[in-house]
Chains A and B, each alone.
Chain A
Amino acid sequence: MAGVGDYSLPNRYAVQIVPTNGFTSLLTFFTSASMAFLIVFSIAMSTAADRLAQSWSASLANSATLRVSAPLVDIESQTEAALNVLSSTKGIASFRLLKVEEQQALLEPWFGPDVPIDNLPMPRLIVIEENEDGYDRVGLRLRLAAEVPSAVLDDHTRWREPLVKAAYRIWFLGWLSTCLVLCIVVSMIILVTRAGLLSNRKVIEVLRLVGATDQYIAGAFVRKFAFRAFFGSTLGGVVASLTLFLLPSKVDQNAILTGLRLEGLEWSWLIIIPVFFFILTFFAARISSLNILKSLS
């Protein structure tokens, strides 16, 4: 009986040293799928909130609204005076008086279509866009107070800042949720590894009898859990993406939650998440199993 020759040896990695039909395998797979699903949604929520905050910041930061409220008899003259003030103010790129139809469209969500606002004492609205240098807000307010006392300049700061803050809080909460879910994944993997090792004591005993080191035994279990976590999280990510697709689009309904989606490079999360799950599971399971094996000696 000489050295290993013509007979092909079983592949040390292909052979499933650890039985694969245990509940721990299924638990790892489904928990990873569920957690990846939640993470994709958390990330989608974060990125949507981030986009919203940036959009609000950018689109409203350089604009203002001048509201002219006066009795019907004076409204036209007051509006004309306000337009004159604006035309002679430096730092304003453009200004435009909203048409009646546009104001009607703004009120439509509250009052419904075909409201005869011509007969109502509606204020006139002037949309102002500032240029890169910006205009002197204090100076403009003083001039308006002197020349058009019924005009109120709203530079959106009052309500823009809380909205942007809220959007950033949602962004933060999304990432916090992601971190918490990852903590749950690590805890789950530690518990599953422990259960897996303890329910396979006979396997460990046999492997030790034939000269397996703790590293080898841990590796056999870690591979099993890491691949289950990888495939589970891939499935969870794909299902979450399909669910995001099925949500109403932002175009259809202009509301915050309808922007819940991934865009452009954000889709790379679908690759990053399973890989990250694999790495996380690998290290969590390895550290956990080596500790358990030490205690089982």
Chain B
Amino acid sequence: MIEMERVAYSYGEELLSELNLSISQGSFYFLTGPSGSGKTTFLKMCYGSLVPTSGKLSVFGKDSSSLSRDEIAYLRRKIGVVHQDCQFLDHLTVVDNIALPIMVSARSSLSDSLNLKELLNWVGLSHRSKALPAELSGGERQRAALARAIIMSPNIILADEPTGNIDWEMSQRLIRLLVELNHMGKTVVIATHDLNLIRFTKTSVQARVLRISNKTVQLAGSDL
């Protein structure tokens, strides 16, 4: 699903280099590393927000550097993204925010999307559907962001520090949802520096851990 061959990214100064990786359907990955190591950049390259400065990155078999603006938009409909700050439209209700991917898509893609009511139930937000994002707690916001990320039934879910702003109990709840999605066959990649979260997750799913170190990605050993 995601193939990297000698991928590098530079913001003037090189941040990531020599990334060689293959993420297959149904796998569960953690991406760790210190702040500023390039975790977010790695994820942004995966969903087409950034284009590698060198190397080849293929998503769903397509070279990301050759995608047109519209193709990038279509690609993002197949990839669910959860950010630490959730990125909601503050003037829309929770249900409108969750349904945004459907609203921006063509009507024909509705058949692929999930049932909104069931989705709200699944993330435990049925009673908060008409609330504004500002009225939600941190955990509720993250669950709403997850619901929005998966409403189009994407094959890949990328989460960037999804538990960064929520307590341990809420973090566990969110991780359980992501694990459940992985059991449904979705590919999950979570960027985090929370080792406890990784240990907790590994008890319920076969998760691999990628560590960004010295500008490149390495598969972490069993020390985690």
- On A, residues with C-beta under 8 Å from B are 1-7, 9-10, 12, 15-17, 19, 21, 202-203, 205-216, 294, 297
Contact, CB under 8 Å: A4 / B89: no
Contact indicator B110/A211 (Cβ below 8 Å): no
Q: How far is the CB of B151 from chain A (nearest CB, A)?
A: 9
A3-B113 contact in complex given A210-B148, A212-B73, C-beta closer than 8 Å: yes
B92-122 vs A: 1/0 string, CB under 8 Å? 1001100111111100001111111111001
Complex interface: chain A residues within 8 A of B30 (CB): none
B91 touches A210 (CB 8 A): no
Q: Cβ of A207 and Cβ of B100 under 8 Å apart?
A: yes
Residues of A within 8 A of B103 (CB): 9-10, 12, 15, 17
Evaluate contact between B111 and A1: CB separation under 8 angstroms.
Answer: no
- Contact B77–A211 (Cβ < 8 Å): yes
Let me know if B73 and A211 touch, CB within 8 A. Answer: yes
Query: Is B69 an interface residue when CB atoms closer than 8 A count as contact?
Result: yes
**Which of A2, A9, A213 interacts with B73 by CB under 8 Å?**
A213
CB-defined contacts of A294 to chain B, threshold 8 Å? 69
The residue on A at minimum CB distance from B119 is A1
- Contact partners of A3 in chain B: CB under 8 A: 110-115
**Nearest chain B CB to A55 CB, angstrom units:** 57
17 A/B residue pairs, CB under 8 Å, sorted by A: A1-B115, A2-B115, A4-B111, A4-B115, A4-B116, A7-B115, A17-B92, A17-B100, A206-B89, A207-B100, A209-B49, A209-B87, A210-B77, A210-B148, A211-B74, A211-B105, A213-B69
Tell me if B39 counts as interface (CB < 8 A to partner A).
no
Complex Cα spacing A214 to B72, Å:
11
Query: Is B152 close to A, CB under 8 A?
Result: yes
B76 contacts A214, CB within 8 Å?
A: no
Complex Cα distance, B70 from A3, in Å, reads 25
In the complex, whether B88 has a CB less than 8 A from a CB of chain A is yes
Do B105 and A9 touch across chains, with their CB atoms under 8 A apart? Answer: no
Given contacts A4-B110, A19-B91, contact A213 B99 (CB under 8 A): no
A213-B105 Cα distance, complex, nearest whole Å: 9
Smallest distance from the beta carbon of B221 to chain A beta carbons, Å?
34
If A210-B101, A211-B77 touch, whether A9 touches B110 (CB-CB below 8 Å) is yes
- Determine if B81 is an interface residue (Cβ-Cβ < 8 Å): yes
Taking each of B74, B91, B110, which has the highest tally of chain A beta carbons within 10 Å of its own beta carbon? B91
